[in-house]
Chains A and B, each alone.
Chain A
């Protein structure tokens, strides 16, 4: 019997490059990565990635949001004046270096059932449509308790599970990664905590610390024996659990099955041997929102570069965020600031959030061997929960599409929707077609869209 040597307790996996010991010049800002040229082409070159970038509380209000919002006479610093190639407006100016596409005039057009009441609420209907293309689920909706769930997956999970996105024969190490930055929460339960959903009652809670994300993605080699031990343990748990499902009702069976699926995915990671890049330095956590965004962005970019995943969801601030932006001299939480009608403070916060988005996009500007950047290869959908937070209007629900999708997505284009063709899901559909997934429509419960945004696709 061989002597079993205990390894450190972490699950981390060591990622070896094919050219062990030789580093390719990748031009990464702060992190080293060793990637074989072939893998780089395969991972970053041919296969696009998708991500969601979410910020809270929409935009500063203008007359475009409604009559009352217009009475204060605040200017529209978001909507570009031109269709097509546009001159950046003050709020979009931080994003100018990245050629981000902007769609304005979009709104949810999903039906609003009368019962249970309150499903037209600007917050809840707004972020549900922006993230899933569908209205909130009526069966367990309770406006008074601010409780709601989704009828279906959010767009990031829709893509991660799309039959044409990942190769069914070669599933990724992580189907998707969800991260968040600001800890402030309007409520500590349910959909106020997360923007990535799998279906009713099933959320993907974001990882909130860069060090925790690092621990999940990178680390040291466990060794063959430890990997085998853990795999055997999980095998036994799954075998033992096989009996349990028979006892359960439908809903509980789904919950248990999801739990077991997660175990199966972990088990596969203990078996897998695909290693593509070396371990970056472990980040030190920060309380500064922009710095934390940068750290998370670097880790996500590295993970995508190394082929660990091709889908992510990034929550800068949570729905109806109560974050206190005292770095901007705003003394109250953002949600209250909106409802109190402090337009200038809301403007300042929104601009700051756009600067954070820019810092995030900057981490994807890694130059790849073919001369393009990582951002050129993917699609990042920037969105928020409603048009504006003073009166909760869902008009002018913002939409940004960053990235190049390997050449399929145009850069620096503005399209203005309106009239009968304003379904927010036009931006979802545009993203799906930029990723070449074959969808011809997207959206449910009256929100179906069949037209992409003009000028966005090449």
Chain B
């Protein structure tokens, strides 16, 4: 029986959670593929960024004093909120709609640090807290398990003990005696007009609406070299929300109570433990989903007549394929994560197998099997697979611009300059009728208003022209042989297949992956003073053989993650 994974496309909602992926993976028999290796990497080669004026890394001649960046106060993202609820109450909770998260600069953590919740959002927090506490308190067994007792009166000793204990888990810090009294007083007020269980339901419901639960606040403490550093409780939060997308567990809270999380060694030790926890798998999936923009697949629509074999479930399968590859490289094979972009590996169900024109014994609509792409199939790495190709294309034709922009900005951290503010409108209207998409886009590049962006985005995007708007490989379009030659920042390639091995070992790819993970972890963009800190993490990443778990630990234990600039924020 070949290895297969059961996959049930969720009805209607095509979003796949990390949790559903884990369920699928649990069914996978022990892997039969060998470790993924890349050709000799040039990690030791010159790492100076090409000075084309658009890179975000500075030229190396400049000496930068390393300095941490500012602290930011993040509100819990929706995933973190739901994980926190599960942590506090268990599973089977009602899922009330919350205000959608936003992801400026790719990451929801940055949105969490910058956006203001709307009045509707606050109402939704209220509705959610009420619904969850009603569910828990309506069930006597569940209620007793939460409270640790069955109080008959609001003055029973176990009530205050419960408030103290629950409060510490919910707020991720111990409560002061005054705070405990204040919540107890709320219980007393409500008990006076109802009963003790309604009173405690209300106390819990109120605590879940408190900014102490919803925001990750910072007080900090004095750190080295005039900088601030996060307190032990704050580090517990930072580690847990970064590595697990969930609140700190009891082990972390106990360590924090002992003041243990304020030096690199102890932080490192906890981080190493935490990346082995199943929660790290789901959180890592969540990072890759943002880094690779998998959510955009949900909004893809295609005309079934134009693209036979493409159904509403196809994009869900494309997303699943990427998630399976990510999990395989990072957690099963524990190999070089850069191979995500160059390895001739796929995980296909029957739909994807048909789209890619590969044999996939054992694959069905809901079963995924690993496949090894042959050289003839022209596929290697996710840039030649359904997700990237489809989300970066229009319903009627491909989009070299979107594909090129994705590679440049998302994978290589290159910025694309804005168009000039004054637009030259004198274009020759008698240009001959263009034929191919490449010819039409060349027109855009000849217009000075468009040139700045398109001269950078289009050439790498053309490399993918053999793949249509749903990722099917084609030699011709409308009778004309496809020309997939292109260029990435000065270097030319004949097509994507030739390009991807070079991309995978390009130092800019791994630098950028580090940078993106750092932004996600910090909830903000990096500052100039953090470049040396990023370089240090980079070196650790390379030394580990580009193992992503090691990168997670390197970021978590880095100086930039545990210290911050004194300044406007505390």
Select which of A6, A147, A233, A247 is within 8 A of B104 by beta carbon.
A147
Task: State whether A247 touches B449 (Cβ < 8 A).
Answer: no
CB distance from A256 to the nearest CB of B (A): 6
CB of B45 closer than 8 Å to a CB of A: no
Give the CA-CA distance A69 to B429 in the complex, in Å. 10
A200-208, A271-279, A350-358: which one contacts chain B? Answer: A200-208
A238-246, A282-290, A365-373, A417-425: which one contacts chain B? Answer: A238-246
Task: State whether B219 touches A247 (Cβ < 8 A).
Answer: yes
Q: Which residue from chain A places its CB closest to the CB of B396 in the assembled complex?
A: A331
Chain B residues whose C-beta falls within 8 Å of the C-beta of A11 in the assembled complex: 123, 126-127, 130
How many of chain A's residues have a CB under 8 angstroms from any CB in B?
79
Select which of B127, B198, B210 is within 8 A of A229 by beta carbon.
B198
Task: State whether A251 touches B568 (Cβ < 8 A).
Answer: yes
Task: State whether A67 touches B130 (Cβ < 8 A).
Answer: no
Task: State whether B210 touches A4 (Cβ < 8 A).
Answer: no
Task: State whether B104 touches A9 (Cβ < 8 A).
Answer: no
Chain B residues whose C-beta falls within 8 Å of the C-beta of A204 in the assembled complex: 118-120
CB of B190 closer than 8 Å to a CB of A: yes
CB distance from A15 to the nearest CB of B (A): 17
Interface residues of B in 160-199 (CB under 8 A from A): 179, 182-183, 185-186, 189-195, 198
Interface residues of B in 86-113 (CB under 8 A from A): 97, 99-100, 102-105, 111
Task: State whether B394 touches A262 (Cβ < 8 A).
Answer: no
CB distance from A54 to the nearest CB of B (A): 17
Task: State whether A9 touches B194 (Cβ < 8 A).
Answer: no
Task: State whether A67 touches B426 (Cβ < 8 A).
Answer: yes
A36-44, A113-121, A381-389: which one contacts chain B? Answer: A113-121
Chain A residues whose C-beta falls within 8 Å of the C-beta of B99 in the assembled complex: 205
Chain A residues whose C-beta falls within 8 Å of the C-beta of B477 in the assembled complex: none
Interface residues of B in 413-468 (CB under 8 A from A): 415-423, 425-427, 429, 449
Interface residues of A in 375-398 (CB under 8 A from B): 391-393
B201-209, B249-257, B279-287: which one contacts chain A? Answer: B201-209
Give the CA-CA distance A202 to B117 in the complex, in Å. 8
Give the CA-CA distance A11 to B119 in the complex, in Å. 14
Evaluate whether A236 and B117 lie within 8 angstroms (CB atoms) in the complex, with A2-B193, A229-B198, A391-B449 already known.
no
Chain B residues whose C-beta falls within 8 Å of the C-beta of A232 in the assembled complex: 186, 189-190, 202
A80-88, A161-169, A187-195, A432-440: which one contacts chain B? Answer: A187-195
From A10, A142, A236, A249, name the one whose CB has the most chain B CB atoms within 10 angstroms: A236
Chain A residues whose C-beta falls within 8 Å of the C-beta of B527 in the assembled complex: none
Give the CA-CA distance A144 to B105 in the complex, in Å. 10
Q: Which residue from chain A places its CB closest to the CB of B134 in the assembled complex?
A: A9
CB of B225 closer than 8 Å to a CB of A: no
CB of A1 closer than 8 Å to a CB of B: yes
CB distance from B482 to the nearest CB of A (A): 20
Select which of B303, B415, B425, B569 is within 8 A of A249 by beta carbon.
B569
Give the CA-CA distance A189 to B113 in the complex, in Å. 13
CB of A458 closer than 8 Å to a CB of B: no
Give the CA-CA distance A251 to B111 in the complex, in Å. 14
Task: State whether B122 touches A263 (Cβ < 8 A).
Answer: yes
Evaluate whether A229 and B202 lie within 8 angstroms (CB atoms) in the complex, with A236-B186, A239-B182, A391-B425 already known.
yes
From B121, B126, B182, B567, name the one whose CB has the most chain A CB atoms within 10 angstroms: B126
Q: Which residue from chain A places its CB closest to the CB of B123 in the assembled complex?
A: A266
Task: State whether B418 touches A143 (Cβ < 8 A).
Answer: yes
Give the CA-CA distance A92 to B193 in the complex, in Å. 60
Interface residues of B in 46-104 (CB under 8 A from A): 73, 97, 99-100, 102-104
The digit string for B526-570, where 1 denotes a CB below 8 A from any CB of A, is 000000000000000000000000000000000000000001111
CB of B301 closer than 8 Å to a CB of A: yes
Give the CA-CA distance A337 to B119 in the complex, in Å. 36
Chain A residues whose C-beta falls within 8 Å of the C-beta of B117 in the assembled complex: 255, 258-259, 262
Select which of A184, A193, A241 is within 8 A of B211 by beta carbon.
A241
Evaluate whether A333 and B394 lie within 8 angstroms (CB atoms) in the complex, with A236-B183, A266-B122 already known.
yes
Task: State whether A147 touches B105 (Cβ < 8 A).
Answer: yes
From A144, A324, A333, A391, name the one whose CB has the most chain B CB atoms within 10 angstroms: A144
The digit string for A69-100, where 1 denotes a CB below 8 A from any CB of B, is 10110000000000000000000000000000
Task: State whether B211 touches A256 (Cβ < 8 A).
Answer: yes
Give the CA-CA distance A240 to B299 in the complex, in Å. 42
Give the CA-CA distance A115 to B377 in the complex, in Å. 47
CB of A416 closer than 8 Å to a CB of B: no
CB of A265 closer than 8 Å to a CB of B: yes
Total A-B pairs, Cβ < 8 A? 204
Evaluate whether A189 and B186 lie within 8 angstroms (CB atoms) in the complex, with A240-B210, A244-B212, A247-B217 already known.
no
Select which of A185, A233, A392 is within 8 A of B209 by beta carbon.
A233
Chain B residues whose C-beta falls within 8 Å of the C-beta of A120 in the assembled complex: 420-422
Give the CA-CA distance A236 to B195 in the complex, in Å. 18
Task: State whether A121 touches B419 (Cβ < 8 A).
Answer: yes
Evaluate whether A193 and B102 lie within 8 angstroms (CB atoms) in the complex, with A4-B198, A184-B299 already known.
yes
Task: State whether B416 touches A233 (Cβ < 8 A).
Answer: no
Give the CA-CA distance A236 to B218 in the complex, in Å. 22
Select which of A71, A190, A228 is within 8 A of B102 by beta carbon.
A190
Q: Which residue from chain A places its CB closest to the CB of B206 in the assembled complex?
A: A233
Chain A residues whose C-beta falls within 8 Å of the C-beta of B417 in the assembled complex: 117-118, 143-144
Chain A residues whose C-beta falls within 8 Å of the C-beta of B215 in the assembled complex: 256
CB of B115 closer than 8 Å to a CB of A: yes
Give the CA-CA distance A249 to B219 in the complex, in Å. 10
CB distance from A112 to the nearest CB of B (A): 5
Give the CA-CA distance A333 to B105 in the complex, in Å. 23
The digit string for A60-71, where 1 denotes a CB below 8 A from any CB of B, is 000000111101
Task: State whether B409 touches A216 (Cβ < 8 A).
Answer: no
Task: State whether A247 touches B210 (Cβ < 8 A).
Answer: no
CB distance from A426 to the nearest CB of B (A): 23
Interface residues of B in 8-42 (CB under 8 A from A): none
Task: State whether A247 touches B126 (Cβ < 8 A).
Answer: no
CB of B151 closer than 8 Å to a CB of A: no
Evaluate whether A250 and B104 lie within 8 angstroms (CB atoms) in the complex, with A202-B116, A232-B186 already known.
no
Evaluate whether A198 and B116 lie within 8 angstroms (CB atoms) in the complex, with A1-B195, A205-B99 already known.
yes
CB of A23 closer than 8 Å to a CB of B: no
CB distance from A310 to the nearest CB of B (A): 16
Task: State whether A244 touches B211 (Cβ < 8 A).
Answer: yes
Chain A residues whose C-beta falls within 8 Å of the C-beta of B190 in the assembled complex: 229, 232-233
CB distance from B273 to the nearest CB of A (A): 30
Q: Which residue from chain B places its CB closest to the CB of A140 in the assembled complex?
A: B114
Task: State whether B122 touches A259 (Cβ < 8 A).
Answer: yes
The digit string for A206-224, where 1 denotes a CB below 8 A from any CB of B, is 0100001000100000000
CB distance from A338 to the nearest CB of B (A): 13
Give the CA-CA distance A324 to B99 in the complex, in Å. 25
Chain B residues whose C-beta falls within 8 Å of the C-beta of A216 in the assembled complex: 120, 123
Interface residues of A in 125-151 (CB under 8 A from B): 142-145, 147
Q: Which residue from chain B places its CB closest to the CB of A146 in the assembled complex?
A: B104
CB of A281 closer than 8 Å to a CB of B: no
Task: State whether A244 touches B217 (Cβ < 8 A).
Answer: yes
Task: State whether B118 touches A205 (Cβ < 8 A).
Answer: yes
Give the CA-CA distance A202 to B202 in the complex, in Å. 30
CB distance from A142 to the nearest CB of B (A): 8
Evaluate whether A252 and B295 lie within 8 angstroms (CB atoms) in the complex, with A11-B123, A233-B206 already known.
no
Task: State whether B416 touches A248 (Cβ < 8 A).
Answer: no
Q: Which residue from chain B places its CB closest to the CB of A114 in the assembled complex?
A: B421
Q: Which residue from chain A places its CB closest to the CB of B214 in the assembled complex?
A: A259
Evaluate whether A259 and B210 lie within 8 angstroms (CB atoms) in the complex, with A205-B100, A266-B122, A324-B301 already known.
no
CB of B501 closer than 8 Å to a CB of A: no
Chain A residues whose C-beta falls within 8 Å of the C-beta of B420 in the assembled complex: 120
Q: Which residue from chain B places its CB closest to the CB of A141 in the assembled complex?
A: B418
A-B contacts, 8 listed (Cβ < 8 Å): A9-B131, A68-B426, A117-B417, A118-B418, A145-B105, A204-B120, A212-B97, A266-B119
Given A117-B418, A247-B219, list of 4 further CB < 8 A pairs?
A184-B299, A234-B209, A237-B211, A256-B215
Q: Give the 10 A-B residue pairs with the shortest CB-CB distance, closest first.
A: A118-B418, A4-B194, A120-B421, A143-B418, A249-B569, A68-B425, A262-B122, A202-B116, A233-B206, A236-B186
